[in-house]
Amino acid sequence: MQIITLGNELLRQKAEKIDKIDDEILSASKQMLEILKTDKGVGVAGPQVGLMKRIFVIHIEGDEDRVFINPSILETSQETIKYEEGCLSVPGIYTDVVRSESVKIQAWNEKGKPFTLETGGLLARVIQHEYDHLEGVIFLDRVSEEKRKKLMAKYEKTGGKGEKDSK
């Protein structure tokens, strides 16, 4: 498993529902969590590793590993908040994105157990970012066209290799 980066068409496709939560999915979720820890990300979605299935994993420092399979966002707060985001698939690019402050999500975990989670803060933000990946949407789609053009020019200039210290 490897992270694919912007330019790869898979990032623009909609992921498919997972019919059966089996050992293959369990193994995929473990590998995705490994990638997160190696690459120091907070979330990764199936399409980012070329797995076109509705799954994403989140690990925020100090919190448990979280796996979301076939997620549905049930509610999003009217209150929004602006905060800086990056993405493992768009290395070197960071920008402020406006998102709902809190969300309510329903999903299954890697053991096939359904759960509902209502949360705010960074976790709510990451959930919205990762959910977007399942729909073929990336964070740069959520900024103004002008800003997106600038960031894309920067991304192309660095060849998508990223400059970890540049913001």
Binding of residue 87 to Ni ion (CB under 5 A): yes
Q: Which residue is nearest to Ni ion (CB)?
A: 87
- Span of 30-38, 70-78, 85-93, 152-160 interacting with Ni ion by CB under 5 A: 85-93
Binding of residue 25 to Ni ion (CB under 5 A): no
SS (HEC) of 21-43: CCHHHHHHHHHHHHHHHHHCCCE
| Torsion angle of the four alpha carbons 62, 3, 137, 26, in this order, in degrees rounded to the nearest 10 | -60
Binding of residue 15 to Ni ion (CB under 5 A): no
Number of residues near Ni ion (by CB under 5 A): 1
Active-site positions?
130
Binding of residue 32 to Ni ion (CB under 5 A): no
Residues 77 and 101: their CA atoms lie apart, in Å, by: 6
Give the SS3 label for residue 85.
strand
Binding of residue 126 to Ni ion (CB under 5 A): no
How far from chain centre, in Å, is Cα 33? 12
- Span of 3-11, 27-35, 80-88, 108-116 interacting with Ni ion by CB under 5 A: 80-88
